[in-house]
Every structure is written in structure tokens, then in C-alpha cells.
Structure 1
Amino acid sequence: MGPVDLAAIEAERERLREVYLAPERPASSARGVHHVALLSSDVERTVRFYQGVLEFPLTEMIENRDYKGSTHFFFDLGNGNLLAFFDFPGLDLGPYAEVLGGLHHLAISVDPTTWQRLRGRLADAGVDYQEESGTSIYFRDPDGARVELLAEQLGEMYGKSVR
């Protein structure tokens, strides 16, 4: 892979903004994210991590309608947003991998006080994390998915509205 032409990338980004970023945007056809679903290799370990360490309450556990014996379970992320998981007993899904079209990371907004507390809880639980800009903590969940706790308001990035 050769050197990256940053000027060309910025020029293309600006072109795309001009073509697609409408000054007066129509309302979205969507009502919001119902849930984001990830995979779990161990239901109890996942519950202990997301509810026990990150303080996201478990809201429900049901059988996955698409795969008998699989558990579909949900955590409350606030504002009506849910984080869901599936386990697939008997299937060898292999380890987590970041691939094109796959999950890069899941960014979850928390207030600054909660951010400080959860950073401590991650450290107490022995979870390796990377802190960026005093507002982001990146870490991996027990199955390797990358998660970010972000001390920014919903719809903001670097203090700027991205809605």
C-alpha cells in the first residue's frame, strides 16, 4: 500500500459534502435505532460485563426466533436505545474480527461524571482501555468487540453537532 494523498482525500470529502449534505435536510424516515445486535460466546460473562461493569441494566432474555436454543438478550442504553446480543450454541463462529462491512466500534454516550466512574470500574475489572482527548475511552468487550464510552452529548462530536 502506497502513501496516502491527504489533500486528495480532503478534496473528495469536500466534494461529497457539497453534493450530498443538504443545507435543509428533510426529516428521516426512521424513528431511531431499536437495537444494535452483537454476538456473545458466553451469555453470563456478557451480562456480568455489560450490567456488572458498565452498569447497563439487562432488560430481557428471550429465545432467538431464528435459531432454536439461541438466547437474544437486551441491555438498556438510555433514551429508548437497546444493545442486544445473540449467542449461537453449537456454531463455531470463531473470534471477533474487524472486517469491511463489520463493526469498527460502538460509541455510547455517557455524562462526564458517569464517564469518570466507568473508567474506574473498567480499571478495577482489569479491562485494558485507551483514553483519548479526555472524553473517549476505547476498550474491548469479553468477545473482542470494540466499545467507546464517550463523554459527549448525543448528536455531538468534538463539541460540534453532527445531527
Structure 2
Amino acid sequence: MALLSSDVERTIRFYQELLEFPLTEIIENRDYQGSNHFFFDIGNGNLLAFFDFPGLDLGPYQEVLGGLHHVAISVDPATWERLRGKLEMAGVPHHIESGASIYFRDPDGARLELLADHLGEMYGSRVM
């Protein structure tokens, strides 16, 4: 999955510093000169990818959402609590559902969910 970033530095600060997902690589996008393709390690062998398209006015069209409802990312319960506190301290609007899911948006409007369960579990039950 690849999302759109309108500001690479802001996206890196949000995902790496606030959400603690390490930036793993930045490479030039082979399809659009001057554009970057960059990746964050979201755990469990998964990466979240982004593109930026400087100088390309996408107007009201945003690839970031398309048909996507939201990106759900599993984190262990201790990390979930820590990140919830960081979101609150940073003033990021969010909504907690069922005491185990935090819904919020990234700086470009992509809807995210942090789920307080280990990968393969949902609300304490194995799903895979």
C-alpha cells in the first residue's frame, strides 16, 4: 500500500517521531523525476509506503484515500498506551473505540487505526 505525502519532512516527523515507525528507506521514484518513494517499518515484517510529487498539482484528487477506508496497524498494548499519550500530547484529534482502537488522521488526511492487539489477534481472539 502506498499513500501520498504533501510534505516529506512532516510525514517523517509524524510517522517516525510521533508514531515510532522507523523510516527504512528513501529512494527516487522512477516514474516521476524529483519524487521520492519512502517506507516506514510498521512492525511484523510490514512496511507502509509513501510517494511525494513535488511540483505536480493534484488539485482535489488525492491518491491517499481513493477507495481506502483506513489503515489498521496492530501494536502491542503497552505501545498502544504510549502512542495514545503521544497523540494526546501532540494535540492530534482522535477517537477511541472499544478501548482497543484509536482512530485519527495523518497530516495529509489518511485515516489510521492503532489496534491494541498483537498481529493475528482481535479483541483477544486469534483471527489467523
The reply to whether TM is greater than 0.5 is yes
Structure with larger RCO (C-alpha < 8 A, sep 6+): 2
Query: Which structure is higher in strand share?
Result: 2
Are 2:52 and 1:87 equivalent residues in the alignment? Answer: yes
* Structure whose alpha-carbon radius of gyration is higher: 1
- Indicate the RMSD between aligned Cα atoms, in angstroms: 1.8
Scaled by the length of structure 2, what TM-score is found? 0.91
- Whether the 8 Å contact between 1:109 and 1:151 is mirrored in structure 2 is yes
Q: Percent same amino acid at aligned positions?
A: 77
Question: Residue 162 of structure 1 aligns to which amino acid in structure 2?
Answer: V
Structure 2 match to 1:114: 79
Gaps of at least 5 residues in structure 1 are 1-35
Query: Which structure is higher in helix share?
Result: 1
Distance 1:97 1:82, change over 3 A: closer
Are 2:17 and 1:52 equivalent residues in the alignment? Answer: yes
Structure 2 match to 1:19: none
Which of 94, 105, 116 in structure 2 is aligned with 1:140? Answer: 105
Shift of 1:98: 8.5
Structure 1 residue ranges (4+ consecutive) displaced by more than 6 angstroms after TM superposition: none
Structure 2 match to 1:71: 36
Scaled by the length of structure 1, what TM-score is found? 0.72
Gaps of at least 5 residues in structure 2 are none
Q: List aligned pairs for 1:144-155, cutoff 5 A.
A: 144-155=109-120
